[in-house]
């Protein structure tokens, strides 16, 4: 799904590799490429421009934390903007009234009948008693298709093959539902190959007569810009409540998913990703954005870093490193910050390409425990001035921390080397680099 768009966006972010911060100049190419990638994916030009302008403005306004790179920050901002573009929050289907009526509208072949079956199965799994109603009066095969699907998912189907009045059929179905204790009635309607007056009139008549709690517009996501135009035509006439995007399993370019919400201002509620009855998912804008970017894990990683990283503390440490005053207390504080970000193995696994490699390596958070215990067994004086730790102090620390003297020696040696490295880096200029080496 969206493979091409994901690849192009990934390439756009590569432009920022190696850059220390985001500037008007270095972000310009990336923004241009993001815009082009969106337009190539069939996102409406105006929408693509608005979104990329917002990404640029946000990127220039944000400080890049030492813990993340400008590329990662831009991915995060793009992810947030795409999420907002698709509506921000996920919106659930409205079930209201007795029975609750759900009207399914859309062009012929968009996947209405298939979706009706899926939705029936989805609601049945939630413990609701559902009735499917065949109101596609022009296509006898549609009635049979719905009957087959109903049987497959174990849901009752109401049909009157001889009746040519959709409103009458639907009204009779509602009566039937009331008698048989069905709490939800899904009404599958007739579609045409293109938007036409007669079809619109019929669906509008159904909507007026049935007063459904939900009118869902079903659209084939493979039709790109056309999907958006059709959505607009249906919405102008029907004022529907929600959108269902079908065939997201195919070679879709993603434009429909990204533009429909902005253009018709109605939430996408479901996506359909295959012909099987289980291929229905509630729509979550944030998850879809992460999938489009193909790097959902980096987004989580950046969020965790933003939550855990204390800029004031970073400045304080940076100052101490510059003055060659970094001690065991500072080391402990660094450990705390890393730990706040979560499980070490999970964190490393979030870096693209690392997930697979991580499976082979055995890192667990317990590896930090003896280090922490040793530092905590030191007196404050010892932490500030490790050189004073002689043999008897080492013995006491080892006993206190439940470790051994060789383990204490090893940590002291590593800490000594780290301080030496910081000193050398300071001589070369800038403690900031040393700090990011620690992160
Ligand atoms: P309707 O005319 O709007 O009722 O459309 P149908 O439900 O008959 O679907 C048209 C065709 O699209 C059928 O062959 C379905 O099996 C297929 N279809 C429906 N939804 C999906 C989907 O999410 N993915 C794929 N790959 N095919 C779908």
Q: Which CATH class is domain 310-438?
A: mainly alpha
Q: Is the CB of 111 under 6 A from ligand 1?
A: yes
What's the distance, CA 54 to chain centroid? 19
Q: In ligand 1, which atom is closest to the CA atom of 188?
A: 4
Does 252 appear as a known binding residue? no
Q: Is the CB of 117 under 6 A from ligand 1?
A: no
Q: In ligand 1, which atom is closest to the CA atom of 273?
A: 23
Does 109 appear as a known binding residue? yes
Q: Is the CB of 281 under 6 A from ligand 1?
A: no
Per residue in 303-347, pLDDT (tens digit) is: 666 666 666 777 787 788 778 888 999 888 877 777 766 556 555
Does 377 appear as a known binding residue? no
Question: 131 in helix, strand or coil?
Answer: strand
Most confident of 78-87, 110-119, 329-338: 110-119
Measured between alpha carbons, how far is 422 from 66 in angstroms, rounded to an integer?
Answer: 17
Question: What distance in angstroms lies between residue 196's CA and the mean position of ligand 1's atoms?
Answer: 21
Q: Is the CB of 113 under 6 A from ligand 1?
A: yes
Q: Is the CB of 191 under 6 A from ligand 1?
A: yes
Q: In ligand 1, which atom is closest to the CA atom of 250?
A: 26
CATH number of 100-283: 3.40.50.300
Q: How many CB atoms lie within 10 A of CB 181?
A: 10
Burial class (CB in 10 A: 0-12, 13-18, 19+), 38: buried
Question: What distance in angstroms lies between residue 385's CA and the mean position of ligand 1's atoms?
Answer: 72
What confidence category does residue 294 fall into, taking pLDDT thresholds of 50, 70 and 90? low
The residue to mutate among 1, 108, 111, having the most atoms of ligand 1 within 8 angstroms of its beta carbon, is: 111
pTM for the whole structure = 0.68
> Of all helices (H) and strands (E), which one includes residue 208?
helix 197-210
Q: Is the CB of 249 under 6 A from ligand 1?
A: yes
What confidence category does residue 437 fall into, taking pLDDT thresholds of 50, 70 and 90? very low
The residue to mutate among 106, 108, 112, 114, having the most atoms of ligand 1 within 8 angstroms of its beta carbon, is: 114
Q: Is the CB of 334 under 6 A from ligand 1?
A: no
Measured between alpha carbons, how far is 260 from 344 in angstroms, rounded to an integer?
Answer: 40
Measured between alpha carbons, how far is 257 from 311 in angstroms, rounded to an integer?
Answer: 37
Question: What distance in angstroms lies between residue 77's CA and the mean position of ligand 1's atoms?
Answer: 35
Which positions ≥6 away from 4 have C-beta within 8 Å?
40, 41, 253
Does 67 appear as a known binding residue? no
CATH: 1.20.120.140, 2.60.210.10, 1.20.140.10, 3.60.15.10. Which one for 3-89? 1.20.120.140
- Asked if residue 156 has pLDDT above 80, the reply is yes
Q: Is the CB of 108 under 6 A from ligand 1?
A: yes
Question: What distance in angstroms lies between residue 112's CA and the mean position of ligand 1's atoms?
Answer: 7
Which positions ≥6 away from 254 have C-beta within 8 Å?
1, 2, 5, 41, 42, 43, 221, 292
Percent of the chain with pLDDT over 70: 82
Per residue in 44-59, pLDDT (tens digit) is: 888 899 999 999 998 8
Q: Is the CB of 285 under 6 A from ligand 1?
A: no
Q: What is the pLDDT of residue 244?
A: 96
Sketch the domain layout of the chain as residue ranges. Answer: 3-89, 100-283, 310-438
- For 30, the token pair is 């990336």
Per residue in 187-211, pLDDT (tens digit) is: 999 887 777 888 888 899 999 999 9
- For 69, the token pair is 């790179």
């Amino acid at each position: 799904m969206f493979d091409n768009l994901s690849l192009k966006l990934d390439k756009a972010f590569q432009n920022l590799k190696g850059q220390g911060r985001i500037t008007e100049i270095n972000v310009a190419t990336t923004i241009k490429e993001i815009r082009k990638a969106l337009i190539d994916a069939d996102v409406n030009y105006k929408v693509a421009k608005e979104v990329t302008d917002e990404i640029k403005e946000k990127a220039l306004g944000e400080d890049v934390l030492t813990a993340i790179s400008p590329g990662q920050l831009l991915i995060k901002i793009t992810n947030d903007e795409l999420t907002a573009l698709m509506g921000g929050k996920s919106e659930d289907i409205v079930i209201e009234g007795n029975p609750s009526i759900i009207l399914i509208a859309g062009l012929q072949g968009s996947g209405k009948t298939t979706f009706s079956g899926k939705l029936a199965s989805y609601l049945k799994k939630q413990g609701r008693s559902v009735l499917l109603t065949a109101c596609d009066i022009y296509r006898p095969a549609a009635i049979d298709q719905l009957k087959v699907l109903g049987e497959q998912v174990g849901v009752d189907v109401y049909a009157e093959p001889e009746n040519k009045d959709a409103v009458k059929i639907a009204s009779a179905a509602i009566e039937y539902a009331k008698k048989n204790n069905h709490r939800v009635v899904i009404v599958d309607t007739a579609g045409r190959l293109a938007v036409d007056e007669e079809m619109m009139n019929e669906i509008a008549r159904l909507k007026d007569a049935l007063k459904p709690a939900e009118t869902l517009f079903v659209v084939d996501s493979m039709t790109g810009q056309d999907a958006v135009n059709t959505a607009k035509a249906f919405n102008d006439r029907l004022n529907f409540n929600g959108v269902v995007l079908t065939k997201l399993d195919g070679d879709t370019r993603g434009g429909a998913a990204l533009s429909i919400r902005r253009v018709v201002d109605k939430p996408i509620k479901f996506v359909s990703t295959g012909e099987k009855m289980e291929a229905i998912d509630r729509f979550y804008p944030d998850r879809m954005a992460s999938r489009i970017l193909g790097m959902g894990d980096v987004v989580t990683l950046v969020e965790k870093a933003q939550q855990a990283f204390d800029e004031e503390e970073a400045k304080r440490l940076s100052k101490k490193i510059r003055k060659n005053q970094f001690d065991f207390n500072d080391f402990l504080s660094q450990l705390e910050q890393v730990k706040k970000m979560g499980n070490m193995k999970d964190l490393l696994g979030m870096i693209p390409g690392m997930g697979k490699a991580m499976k082979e390596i055995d890192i667990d958070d317990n590896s930090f425990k003896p280090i922490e215990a040793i530092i905590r067994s030191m007196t404050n004086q010892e932490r500030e001035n490790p050189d004073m730790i002689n043999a008897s102090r080492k013995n006491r620390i080892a006993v206190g921390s439940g470790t051994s003297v060789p383990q204490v020696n090893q940590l002291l040696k590593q800490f000594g080397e780290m301080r030496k490295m910081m000193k050398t880096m300071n001589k070369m200029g800038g403690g900031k680099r040393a700090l990011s080496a620690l992160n």
